């Protein structure tokens, strides 16, 4: 495995780090004492069995309710199906190299090892019922920390984030997004968060947005650069795929806010004087330096906590934008291109969850179509919009009276 890493020269730093961690944490400890020509399928399967046993141990200890046992596995992370497939892919790639370049093997045992299927988590909406249950779980989580003697030292935001939630991918409703925007408006990075919430930018894309890529005349921004993390170190680079390198439309309100943000940045530059470091990015710190991606996440979590909202990850704000676009009836191809996905099939498979109100309206429309109901079926609408009143007369419907609407993602 050391020779494999040595030969892999032309790879991305993040890919190299992934290979190195797989070798260090799993492949060397579990398989390092086996001669290459004696490596069997059962050896590799045994490694993954051991990883599964580790996962079971962590889950059992965390569910025990014993503060000491919970504390003992506090920093131990289970290895999920996706990570297992990546570990196997690293081993398979290394063994293929040994077969092709050195002819040390006649058969790649890693290629036939069976692993659990990867179930991509689907976005789940924070409905009122789920929020109520989460508040109970959060209270129980705080009580557990108190019993473990951690309550005085625990960061309240860390406890807020780590409380159990229905899914690893959660999406706010339109009202919850509105509440977040109201609380974030006074933050100097408000426009950055708004771009993620409405246009679905990735964190690295929003942090890496450059001034030269903002076109005020055409109301479009170019996503041609990004700032990601390698461990803790920020890395500046172009997007990895052609689909991610794109231009997207921006609404007029956001464009106005970008202009106001630029004026504020000019005032900061004047205040900083010679200390100003011109980086060319739209979003910077108070003296012009590029933002660290983790700093953006930390500020986001703080705003969510102060607003009293159920927790989501910053990346879930992007998921919320995608779900909102689909619930609003935006064509799947436009959603795909806006998000920077390679195919629309991936977009459709990932964002199958819809807002409850939109699902209910779709059910009514389907029933009306199949039963031949004379009452006009309501269109699928996202939360925040009202459907026509039951029994609304045909005259009002013909006149276009839908009971009034408000935008899905408010501008203020």
Rg of the chain over Cα atoms, rounded to whole angstroms, equals 25
Residues 287, 375, single domain; the answer is no
SS3 label, residue 362: helix
Residues 307, 374, single domain; the answer is no
Strands 233-237 and 246-249, how do they pair?
A: unpaired
pTM of the complete model: 0.75
Closest CA to 324 of 160, 176, 213, 152: 176
Q: Which of 87, 112, 137 is the last residue before a domain boundary?
A: 112
Residues 371, 343, single domain; the answer is no
Determine which of 22-36, 147-161, 182-196, 353-367 has the lowest per-residue pLDDT on average: 147-161
- Note the pLDDT of residue 359: 74
Residue 410 lies in a domain: no
Residue 296 lies in a domain: yes
pLDDT tens digits, one per residue of 320-351? 999 999 888 899 999 999 999 988 888 888 88
Closest CA to 18 of 31, 7, 9, 5: 5
Residues 246, 387, single domain; the answer is no
Residue 209 lies in a domain: yes
Residues 141, 27, single domain; the answer is no
Cα angle value 48/54/58 (rounded, 5°): 145
Burial class (CB in 10 A: 0-12, 13-18, 19+), 366: exposed
Residues 262, 172, single domain; the answer is yes
Strands 226-230 and 233-237, how do they pair?
A: antiparallel
Residue 327 lies in a domain: yes
Determine which of 12-21, 60-69, 168-177, 316-325 has the lowest per-residue pLDDT on average: 60-69
Determine which of 44-58, 263-277, 286-300 has the lowest per-residue pLDDT on average: 44-58
Residues 234, 310, single domain; the answer is yes
- Note the pLDDT of residue 404: 40
- Note the pLDDT of residue 353: 60
- Both tokens of 173, joined, read 């409703």
Residues 60, 86, single domain; the answer is yes
Closest CA to 199 of 215, 180, 216, 220: 220
Calculated CA dihedral for residues 33, 36, 42, 48, nearest 10 degrees = 60
Average pLDDT, the chain: 85
Please state, in angstroms and as integers, the Cα–Cα distance from residue 320 to each residue in 175, 316, 323, 353, following that order: 12, 6, 5, 10
- Residue 103's domain comprises 2-112
Residue 183 lies in a domain: yes
Residues 129, 100, single domain; the answer is no
Q: Which of 350, 365, 385 is the last residue before a domain boundary?
A: 350
Instruction: Please list, in sequence order, all residues whose beta carbon lies within 8 angstroms of the beta carbon of residue 21, skipping any fewer than 6 positions away.
Output: none
Residues 345, 382, single domain; the answer is no
Residue 337 lies in a domain: yes
pLDDT tens digits, one per residue of 20-74? 999 999 999 999 999 998 999 999 999 999 999 988 888 888 888 788 888 888 7
Neighbours of 219 (CB within 10 A): 13
Counting the structural domains of the chain, the total is 3
Statement: residue 358 has pLDDT above 90:
no
Q: Which of 112, 147, 170 is the last residue before a domain boundary?
A: 112
Query: Which comes out higher in pLDDT, residue 393 or 194?
Result: 194
Residues 202 and 322 sit within 8 Å (Cβ to Cβ):
no
Tell me the longest C-alpha to C-alpha distance in the chain: 82
- For 23, half-sphere exposure in the C-beta direction (CA atoms, 13 angstrom radius) is 17
Residue 276 lies in a domain: yes
Q: Please report which residue ranges of 148-274 form alpha helices under DSSP H.
A: 156-162, 174-184, 190-199, 203-207, 252-272
Residue 221 backbone phi and psi in degrees, to 5: -125, 145
Residues 60, 91, single domain; the answer is yes
- We report the CATH number of the domain holding residue 318 as 1.10.443.10
Closest CA to 130 of 169, 72, 81, 82: 169
Residue 118 lies in a domain: no
Residue 155 backbone phi and psi in degrees, to 5: -75, 125
Residues 186, 324, single domain; the answer is yes
- We report the CATH number of the domain holding residue 107 as 1.10.150.130
CA distance 316 to 364: 29
């Amino acid at each position: 495995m050391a020779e494999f890493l040595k030969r892999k020269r032309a790879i991305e730093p993040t890919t190299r780090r992934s290979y190195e961690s797989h070798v260090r944490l799993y492949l060397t400890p579990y398989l390092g004492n086996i001669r290459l020509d004696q490596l069997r399928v059962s050896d590799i399967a045994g490694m993954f069995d051991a990883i599964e046993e580790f996962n079971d141990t962590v889950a059992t200890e965390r569910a025990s309710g014993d503060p000491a046992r919970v504390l003992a596995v506090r920093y131990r992370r289970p290895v999920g199906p996706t990570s297992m497939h990546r570990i196997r892919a690293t081993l398979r790639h290394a063994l293929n190299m040994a077969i092709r370049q050195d002819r040390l093997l006649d058969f790649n045992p890693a290629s036939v090892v069976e692993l659990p299927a990867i179930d991509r988590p689907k976005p789940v909406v924070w409905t009122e019922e789920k929020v109520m249950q989460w508040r109970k779980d959060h209270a129980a989580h705080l009580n557990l920390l108190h019993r473990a003697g951690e309550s005085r030292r625990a960061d309240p935001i860390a406890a807020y984030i780590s409380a159990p939630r229905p899914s690893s991918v959660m999406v706010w409703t339109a009202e919850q997004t509105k509440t977040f925007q109201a609380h974030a408006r006074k933050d100097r990075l408000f426009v950055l968060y708004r771009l993620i919430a409405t246009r679905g930018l990735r964190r690295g894309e929003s942090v890496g947005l450059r001034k030269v890529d903002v076109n005020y005349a055409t109301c479009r921004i170019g996503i041609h650069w990004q700032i990601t993390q390698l461990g803790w170190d920020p890395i500046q680079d172009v997007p990895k795929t052609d689909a991610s390198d794109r231009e997207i439309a921006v609404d007029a309100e956001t464009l106005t806010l970008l202009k106001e943000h630029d004026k504020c940045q000019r005032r900061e530059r004047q205040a900083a004087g010679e200390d100003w470091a011109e980086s060319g990015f739209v979003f910077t710190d108070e003296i012009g330096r590029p933002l660290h991606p983790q700093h953006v996440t930390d500020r986001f979590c703080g705003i969510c906590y102060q607003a009293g909202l159920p927790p989501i990850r910053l990346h879930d704000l992007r998921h919320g934008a995608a779900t909102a676009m689909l619930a609003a009836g935006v064509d799947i191809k436009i959603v795909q291109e806006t998000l920077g996905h390679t195919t629309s099939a991936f977009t459709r498979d990932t964002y199958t969850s819809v807002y409850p109100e939109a699902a209910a309206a779709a059910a009514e429309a389907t029933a009306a179509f199949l039963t031949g109901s004379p009452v006009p079926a309501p269109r699928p609408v996202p939360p925040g919009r009202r459907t026509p009143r039951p029994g609304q007369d045909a005259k009002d419907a013909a006149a276009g009276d839908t009971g009034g609407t408000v935008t899905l993602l408010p501008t203020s």
